A = this chain, B = another copy of it.
Amino acid sequence: MSRFMARLQTAWSAHDSLVCVGLDPEPARFPALLRHRPQAIFEFNKAIIDATHDQVAAYKPQFAHYAAERAEDQLEQTIAYIRATAPQALIILDSKRGDIGSTAERYAREAFERYGADAVTVNPYLGFDSVQPFLEHSDRGVIVLCRTSNPGARDFQDLAVGARTLYQVVADKVATDWNKQGNCMLVVGATYPDELGEIRARVGDLPFLVPGVGAQGGDVAAAVTLGRTANGSGLLISSSRAVLYASQGDDFALAARQAAAELRATINQHR
């Protein structure tokens, strides 16, 4: 087992949870008292982490929410706080990087050295040399977009390439070629459960990051039933808005805990 897979197993087993909480801070949805404080994003995340860390396997900060707010420092603080509070939790930088090899080296340095993430999401459109610099960090995870959870996923990912769809070609390429070091995962959206099951059938035990439950409407039971591996694992089921903004009042952290705990319970019921 690769060092990354061992790390992921630890994250899953720490709290018997496949839940990933997406940290997508939207200051306009914070409680009014918090919204205008100077480190509001970090304080919001800190409250979410304090309230949820015994329910989850992973946290996934979404890069755009920090970049748009000029808050890279608060992203750094958030990651440091997760490390201190929930050392077993896997930290996924969701930045969907994709660029030519010489530039991808710099994105790998950003994700794994500057931010110290355990894993990063990447876009496959530019092909192997755009992911190779990430793959070389064999202790870190490289999570490749395969079949995403959004409506536009149909535009190109579903195109027929011979007898396969493009996303199937991507899944096969990752499973048979890019995963030599055992540190790859695939992004497969919960909003298309049939595709989830069909990709699982192609790629063995390759783990999936599954967004699209919660605000995007994906069915948790179907995602788990169709996406799990033989041992009832192999998934990180990610929810962002449905956890973070379960309440927008002063009880937001408690409401987030309840939402994360319910998601964990629903998942575990179907594993």
A65-B106, A68-B114 given as contacts; is B124 within 8 A of A125 (CB)?
A: yes
Interface residue A218 (Cβ < 8 Å from any Cβ of B)? no
Q: Tell me which residues from 98 to 123 in chain A have a Cβ below 8 Å from any Cβ of chain B.
A: 98-101, 103-104, 106-107, 109-110, 113-114, 123
**CB <8 Å contact, B145 and A125:** yes
Q: Which residue of B lies closest to A146 (CB)?
A: B125
Query: Is A156 a contact of B67 with CB atoms below 8 Å?
Result: no
Give the number of copies in the complex: 2
Interface residues on A, range: 35 or more
* Stretch from A126-134, A135-143, A196-204, A247-255 that touches the partner: A126-134
A93 to B24: give the CA distance in the assembly, Å: 23
Interchain CB contact (< 8 A) of A107 among B24, B68, B100: B68
Q: Does A162 sit at the interface, judged by CB under 8 A?
A: yes
Taking a contact as CB atoms closer than 8 A, the residue among B62, B68, B150 that contacts A126 in the complex is B150
Which residue of B70, B99, B123 is within 8 Å of A125 (Cβ)? B123
Looking at the assembled complex, report how far the CB atom of A101 sits from the nearest CB atom of chain B, in whole angstroms. 6
A interface SS class: helix
- Complex CA gap A106/B62 in Å reads 10
Residue A9, interface by CB 8 Å: no
With an 8 A cutoff between CB atoms, is A148 at the interface?
A: yes
Query: Does A154 sit at the interface, judged by CB under 8 A?
Result: yes
Contact B150 A127 (CB under 8 A): yes
The distance from the CB of A203 to the nearest CB of chain B, in whole angstroms, is: 17
Interface centre among A154, A155, A159 (most CB of B within 10 A): A155
Which residues of A from 77 to 111 have beta carbons under 8 Å from B? 96-101, 103-104, 106-107, 109-110
Known: A106-B68, A156-B170, A166-B159. A129 touches B114 (CB 8 A): no
Check if A261 is an interface residue, CB within 8 A of chain B: no
For this complex, 9 residue pairs linking A to B, each with C-beta atoms less than 8 Å apart, are A24-B103, A62-B99, A64-B99, A68-B109, A96-B98, A124-B125, A124-B156, A125-B148, A128-B155
Taking Cβ atoms with an 8 Å cutoff, the residues of A that contact B are 24, 62, 64-65, 67-68, 70, 72, 96-101, 103-104, 106-107, 109-110, 113-114, 123-130, 145, 148-157, 159-162, 166, 169-170, 173, 216
